[in-house]
Amino acid sequence: MRLLLISNSTNPGEGYLEYSKNYIRDFLGEKAKNAIFIPYAAVTFSYEAYEEKVNARFAEIGHHVTSIHRFINPVEAIENADAIVVGGGNTWQLVKMLQEKGLMKVIRKKVKKGTPYIGWSAGSNIACPTLGTTNDMPIVQPEKFKTLKLIPFQINPHYLDDNPANHGGETREARIQEFIEVNRDLYVVGLREGTLFLLEDDELVLLGNRKTRIFRYGQEPMELSVEDDFSFLLH
């Protein structure tokens, strides 16, 4: 499999997909591909607007996407894709749409056979076994929590260490600790903004200039960097 799992689309003061565009270019290569874009996580803006926004950045690296909503047969579109790109937004909405359109299994099968997969935020969430570590409100109810399970661990994108002043709610770490208390067999990776995972040929590496925080039931959280070995997450 070939996966590029990005924490966030935009860093403060930067344009959309600005920090990740060169990683995406290197991942896709120089040759233009039939890349299918899945915009279903969009809630407050149209699929057309989302497609245009992504293409504005992809054009800078010699690539182009076509949104899946333009196809009469979305299953066939995935089966014929050279690459699959899944945008961020609301993970619950994304999962519900993929389930309703019968796309979960076809995407999983296609990516398992080697089709490159790029996802950011919600698009990274659904590469995990479940959507249980999303930050999003459940604005809709999908059929089930189960997602693509392209990787055997969970990602919490946009991971924050901060506990804002005068904030009485749980920290992100506290919420993840609740998750691993109930899901004791799963690692959870707090993927900080500006970082991403690259999986190629069973080799998992962290990219970006920040460390990632890893949680497992019964263990102290670990802080790992781009220099560390992440192979343990795949077993």
Q: How far is CA 85 from the centre of its chain?
A: 10
Residue with tokens 């039939």: 34
> What are the φ and ψ backbone dihedral angles of 203, each rounded to 5 degrees?
-110, 120
Strands 154-159 and 188-192: parallel
C-beta separation of 4 from 24 below 8 A: yes
Look at the chain and count its residues.
235
Residue with tokens 């398992």: 112
Query: What amino acid positions are annotated as catalytic residues?
Result: 121, 136, 158
Burial 119-148 (b: 16+ CB within 10 A, else e): bbbbbbbbbbbbbbbbbbeeeeebeeebbb
